[in-house]
Amino acid sequence: MDKPFLSVCIITYNHVNYIKQAIDGALMQKTDFPIEIIVADDFSTDGTREILQDYLLKIPTNFRLILQDKNVGPAENWMDLMAAPTGKYVAYLDGDDYWIDDNKLQKQVNYLEKNSKVVMCFTNIEVYDNDTKDTKEWAKIEDIDYDITNFIKENAAASCTIVFRNGLVDVSKCNIQNIAFGDWAFYLFLLQFGNAKYLDFISAVYRVSSQSQLSKISLIKYLFKKKEFYYFFLHNPVFSKYKNLIRDRYISTLYALAIRLEKNDKERKKYLRQVIRSVGFGRVLLTIKALTKYVS
């Protein structure tokens, strides 16, 4: 096989009902360049691994497997996967999502080849609810050139749509394996080297469960993880240039977390005190006057 120009990286664990659709979405791609497909399986026990081995027998020349010999967890499995691609470009996909545009990779590579200052591009998606069977377009994404500051404020890219330049970031040296939102963290490291571009078409389907939609409890868990995410980058010297912006996002997340802890007054006050202490070090997002009603 010719050296792959693009590597498709798929991560999976117990996706027996979905993994075929993910792989077939990659196989249907129409490109004028060779691709490889790499699947990292975290010791699935539901039949996913057997499906992967069947594909390996059918397409051995452009299909590689990383088969963990025990359950190592999503972070380590992802790290192993991200160290494997050999192509100039990398496309990423979770094993329960899938692509629906057979020209997805060609469109994105064409753009990256013509725009050397762009290190990553992404598209819109459809969101499919496994429980209700409803499908809807994701919220409309602003069609702009994104830089690292846009992504510090919020993660604009669905991971199942991204294509990025390989070799710019060594994930083993980023120390992001123990924080939430590893894909978002990776984008921040990547965007030190250039911008991201949104391409306005729907390329993929992202699966959700209505049972997993943000309830009040899960929102609190999400905000806690987001607080830890910003704390990591706030104390990472690599991102010192953006410290004020990261601190702002950290403080606002602390505040959002605190005001939702209505039934845990002790924890709520702890986070609010952290906000009050934090605003003295940077730009004041929230005034003490606005906070006093939450702190005795």
What confidence category does residue 217 fall into, taking pLDDT thresholds of 50, 70 and 90? low
> Is pLDDT above 70 for 103?
yes
Contact 51, 65 (CB under 8 A): no
> Is pLDDT above 80 for 290?
no
* 273 vs 162: CA distance, rounded Å: 39
Cβ atoms < 10 Å from Cβ of 159: 20
**Sign of torsion, CA 111 112 113 117?**
positive
pLDDT value of residue 265: 62
**Sign of torsion, CA 136 18 63 169?**
positive
Contact 204, 104 (CB under 8 A): yes
For residue 251, CA distances in Å to 12, 232, 288 come to 34, 13, 13
Find the mean pLDDT for residues 243-248: 90
φ/ψ (deg, to 5) at 152: -65, -40
- Its pTM stands at 0.87
Kindly give the residue spans of alpha helices, DSSP state H, lying in the chain. Answer: 19-27, 48-58, 74-82, 104-114, 148-153, 182-190, 216-234, 243-260, 265-278, 288-291
**What would the two tokens of residue 264 be?**
């845990």
What confidence category does residue 269 fall into, taking pLDDT thresholds of 50, 70 and 90? low
* 37 vs 122: CA distance, rounded Å: 19
* CA angle, residues 148, 205, 93, in degrees to nearest 5: 60
* 131 vs 54: CA distance, rounded Å: 29
**What would the two tokens of residue 187 be?**
């984008």
What confidence category does residue 264 fall into, taking pLDDT thresholds of 50, 70 and 90? low
* 93 vs 118: CA distance, rounded Å: 20
Which residues are CB-contacts of 247 (< 8 A; sequence separation ≥ 6)?
A: 234, 278, 281, 282
Which residues are CB-contacts of 221 (< 8 A; sequence separation ≥ 6)?
A: none
For residue 31, CA distances in Å to 35, 61, 108 come to 8, 17, 11
What confidence category does residue 96 fall into, taking pLDDT thresholds of 50, 70 and 90? very high
Q: Among 8-12, 205-209, 229-233, whose mean pLDDT is lowest?
A: 205-209
* % of the chain surpassing 70 pLDDT: 84
* % of the chain surpassing 90 pLDDT: 67
Which residues are CB-contacts of 141 (< 8 A; sequence separation ≥ 6)?
A: 124, 156, 198, 200
> Is pLDDT above 50 for 237?
yes
What confidence category does residue 247 fall into, taking pLDDT thresholds of 50, 70 and 90? confident
Q: Identify the three-state secondary structure at position 151.
A: helix
Instruction: Compute CA 184 distance to the chain's CA centroid, rounded to the nearest angstrom.
Output: 5
Question: For 209, which DSSP code?
Answer: -
> Is pLDDT above 60 for 1?
no
pLDDT value of residue 61: 87
Instruction: Compute CA 294 distance to the chain's CA centroid, rounded to the nearest angstrom.
Output: 34
